[in-house]
Amino acid sequence: MARGIQCPQCGASTPLPDDLRVPTFQCAFCQTSLPTAKFAGAAAVSADALVGFIGTLAEDPRAAMANIHEAPRFDGGSRELRAMTCMRCSAPVQVPLDLQVREFACEGCGVTQAIDDYIPHEERFRLDMERQVAGNEALRRIQADGVPCGRCGGQNAVPDDGSVQFTCSFCQAVILLSDHADASAVARQRMKHGSRAVRAELQRQHEAQVDRSRRIAAAIVVVVVLAILVANVVTR
């Protein structure tokens, strides 16, 4: 059985970095530089990149929308087509939902047209997100059954927190979820929790902004009341 991330230099079991977008990380024991994608899996790295893009989309929508056709993804492109009617000749057309495909040609009139004229890129991005996080039976199964440690054989519960790794509760070895589930299943889980974290952070920022506005409004009221009181005292 696999033993999590084993440093090729010193043989120690070492953890992955929390942010998988970093290209390399250091072994916790010998400080050897290790390539993140090789050990975490390209799918999980892409999931973190997509979560980062969602954060940018929330913080700076205009900048993110300008690059939405190049949004990161870990599960390949969508192969779905939507049946529509050509705007030029009224012939039936099959419009690709793949976000990175920008144009299609009508078989009736032969005119190449922009997909965004038929399906806005915002809608295709939403559909692509839903597709990439949908269905995760493989991970739900190991979360229900637990997984054995590759070092000591102890059966461990699998945390539902978006982690790609966790520590064996018996021998403290690093256990990789990708040793027990398909890489895309791990990426879906990471994507789901990352999206929740972004949403929670945005909600926190919104509440903080509302709280600041309330405090400012209260301070203005206090200043106005004090000004009125001072004016009354002065005029007496």
Q: What is the mean pLDDT of the chain?
A: 81
Looking at residue 114, its pLDDT comes to: 96
Dihedral (C-alpha) 44, 48, 53, 56: value to the nearest 10 degrees? Answer: 180
116 compared with 210, residue with greater pLDDT: 116
User: Per the structure block, which two tokens stand in for 131?
Assistant: 């597709």
CA distance linking residue 46 with residue 55, whole number of Å:
14
Looking at residue 20, its pLDDT comes to: 87
pLDDT tens for 146-194 read 999 988 999 999 988 878 888 899 998 888 887 888 777 778 877 777 7
Please state the rounded mean pLDDT for residues 194-205.
68
Percentage of the chain exceeding pLDDT 90: 28
| Local confidence band at 206 (pLDDT 50, 70, 90 cut-offs) | low
Backbone dihedral angles phi then psi of residue 81, each to the nearest 5 degrees? -125, 150
- What amino acid is encoded at 45 in this protein? V
| Local confidence band at 229 (pLDDT 50, 70, 90 cut-offs) | very low
- What amino acid is encoded at 221 in this protein? V
Helices within 110-182 (DSSP H only): 121-133, 137-145
Q: Tell me: pLDDT of 26 over 80.
A: yes
101 compared with 178, residue with greater pLDDT: 101
- The full set of domain ranges for the chain reads 75-132
Looking at residue 109, its pLDDT comes to: 96
Give the contacts of 4 (CB within 8 A, at least 6 positions apart).
13, 150, 151, 165, 173, 174, 175, 176, 179
pTM above 0.75, yes or no: no
117 compared with 75, residue with greater pLDDT: 117
Q: Give Cα 56 to chain centroid, integer Å.
A: 11
| Antiparallel, parallel or unpaired: β 165-167 and 174-176 | antiparallel
> Taking Cα atoms as reference points, which of 31, 34, 33, 27 lies closest to residue 13?
27
pLDDT tens for 116-158 read 999 998 899 888 888 887 767 778 888 889 999 988 999 999 9
> Which range is least confidently modeled, 55-64, 73-82, 84-93, 218-227?
218-227
